[in-house]
Amino acid sequence: MSNNRVGITTNGGFSWSFSNPDTINGGPILKIFFINDTLGWAGSQYVGSIYRSTNKGNNWVTQKDPSGSKTIAFINSETGWSGNSGLSKTTNGGLTLISGINSEVPNSFKLYQNYPNPFNPSTNIRFAITKYSEVRISIFDLLGREIFNWNSNESLKPGIYEYLFTGENLSSGVFIYRVTAKSSEGSQVYSDSRKMIFLK
User: Is residue 171 predicted with pLDDT exceeding 60?
Assistant: yes
Cα 133 from Cα 98, distance rounded (Å): 14
Answer whether 137's CB lies under 8 Å from 153's CB: no
- Compute the average pLDDT of residues 96-105: 61
Sign for the CA dihedral angle at 144, 149, 155, 160 comes to: negative
User: Is residue 149 predicted with pLDDT exceeding 80?
Assistant: yes
User: Is residue 66 predicted with pLDDT exceeding 50?
Assistant: yes
> 179 has which bridge partners?
137, 192
Confidence of residue 97 (pLDDT cuts 50, 70, 90): very low
Which domains are present in the chain? 7-90 (no CATH), 98-198 (2.60.40.2550)
pTM beyond 0.75, yes or no: no
